[in-house]
Amino acid sequence: MSEYQGVLHRYSEMLHLPPGTRPITLLEGNTPLIPAPRLAEQLGGGFELYIKYEGLNPTGSFKDRGMTAAISAAVGEGARVVICASTGNTAASAAAYAARAGLRAVVLIPQGKVAAGKLAGAIAYGAQVLQVEGSFDDALQIVVEISQKHPICLVNSLNPYRIEGQKTAAFEICDRLGTAPEWLCLPVGNAGNITAYWAGFRQYDALRGTGLPHLLGVQAAGAAPLVLGHPVERPETVATAIRIGRPARGEQALQAAEESGGRIIAVTDEKILSMQRLLAATEGIWVEPASAAGLAGLAHEIATGRLRVRSQRVVAVCTGHGLKDPDIVIQWVSKPLSIPPRIDLLEEVLAL
């Protein structure tokens, strides 16, 4: 039996990477596609629901698939420094892969708007972390400029190799189900992920006839430029991962959704948070808020009769682990009840 070696190795013939690429891997990918029958029932039932749990990648988010490709290409091209703007997950992933490659990593994050687990990751992996007094969009603008001016490799999803590596998630879903599902729902922020899924499904379909899903892309209502049709100057949402007002690949995302016969919609923070809770409580899968957006959108579309999924297969992409953003959940309860170590008191509290 051959040992698993990461997405570049597994799908090498499918990925367009530059000659001389030197694989830098943390054995990312190969994440589980978990059936979610109890949640499907809650959403009305009569269809198959699967969670593509991308929070189980090495740094806790889907970003590792694209990052292994971007850093491997950068090393092959002789880069010494990589840079990105990030709402947190890209930063942690870039920092980890850069560390493994022996590169210097510089990450720019929007001040005060990055979840604790992501910031901690970027610091732990040894990146130089800079807070920008502005939004993700402001940070992205200056990292793009500096990478054009100096020999610093940009590893945001504007980097085409990020998209190449990210396509592997679509390949895995087809490999596991045999064909593409009828619907794929996922959160949309800077729009690299939805662009990559569509490219991946199309490539697999052309090669293997696996078919194409309809895409349901979901933004947060306070950060929904693709739904509103114009940039959002001051995006706001509790799902800080997708707090983005000018998505770099917005046009491609809209085109992908349209070509697929799907759409991009927005849901409120309230719906995102209640889906985060429902998923954890019904299926034992704890994801960060942004990662529940795709499912919140699915629930909304089914409940309003805009989406019929009877007898179909639906895959929801859950992009990041719940541990990335513990603070959100701790707010659910005031403080756990504290008791002395006595069985009679325990029996009383448990009403036994």
The site for ligand F0G (CB under 6 A) is made up of: 61, 63, 86-90, 157, 187-193, 241-242, 288, 290-291, 319-320
Q: Distances from the Cα of 265 to the Cαs of 218, 219, 243, in angstroms? A: 5, 6, 15
Instruction: Please give the torsion angle defined by the CA atoms of residues 151, 152, 158 and 159, in that order, rounded to the nearest 10 degrees.
Output: 80
Phi, psi (degrees; rounded to nearest 5) at 317: -90, 120
Please identify, using beta-carbon distances, which residue of 47 and 161 lies nearer to ligand F0G: 161
Please identify, using beta-carbon distances, which residue of 79 and 220 lies nearer to ligand F0G: 220
Please identify, using beta-carbon distances, which residue of 39 and 241 lies nearer to ligand F0G: 241
- For 141, the 3-state DSSP assignment is helix
Please identify, using beta-carbon distances, which residue of 154 and 290 lies nearer to ligand F0G: 290
Please identify, using beta-carbon distances, which residue of 61 and 210 lies nearer to ligand F0G: 61
**Whole-number minimum distance, CB 191 to ligand F0G, in Å?**
5
Please identify, using beta-carbon distances, which residue of 47 and 318 lies nearer to ligand F0G: 318
Helix (H) / strand (E) element for 265: namely: strand 263-267
**Whole-number minimum distance, CB 156 to ligand F0G, in Å?**
8
- For 292, the 3-state DSSP assignment is helix
Among the listed residues 214, 210, 237, the one whose alpha carbon sits nearest the alpha carbon of residue 225: 237
Q: Please compute Rg for the chain using Cα positions.
A: 20
Which two structure tokens, joined as six digits, stand for 130?
């800079």
Which two structure tokens, joined as six digits, stand for 280?
């954890």
**Whole-number minimum distance, CB 319 to ligand F0G, in Å?**
3
Question: Which residue has tokens 């799907």?
Answer: 262
Q: What is the phi-psi region of residue 194: left when phi exceeds 0, alpha when psi lies from -120 to 50, beta otherwise?
A: alpha
Residue 250's CB is within 10 A of a number of other CB atoms, namely: 19
**Whole-number minimum distance, CB 282 to ligand F0G, in Å?**
20
**Whole-number minimum distance, CB 88 to ligand F0G, in Å?**
5
- Sheet architecture: strand order including 33-35: 33-35, 48-53, 313-318, 183-187, 214-220, 263-267
Please identify, using beta-carbon distances, which residue of 47 and 121 lies nearer to ligand F0G: 121
The span from the CA of 58 to the CA of 329, in Å, is 22
Helix (H) / strand (E) element for 154: namely: strand 153-154
Please identify, using beta-carbon distances, which residue of 57 and 72 lies nearer to ligand F0G: 57
Which two structure tokens, joined as six digits, stand for 306?
């805009």
- For 19, the 3-state DSSP assignment is coil
**Whole-number minimum distance, CB 190 to ligand F0G, in Å?**
3
Residue 90 contacts residue 62 (beta carbons within 8 Å): no
**Whole-number minimum distance, CB 157 to ligand F0G, in Å?**
6
Distance of CA 97 to the CA centre of its chain: 17
**Whole-number minimum distance, CB 42 to ligand F0G, in Å?**
22
Please identify, using beta-carbon distances, which residue of 157 and 210 lies nearer to ligand F0G: 157
**Whole-number minimum distance, CB 289 to ligand F0G, in Å?**
8
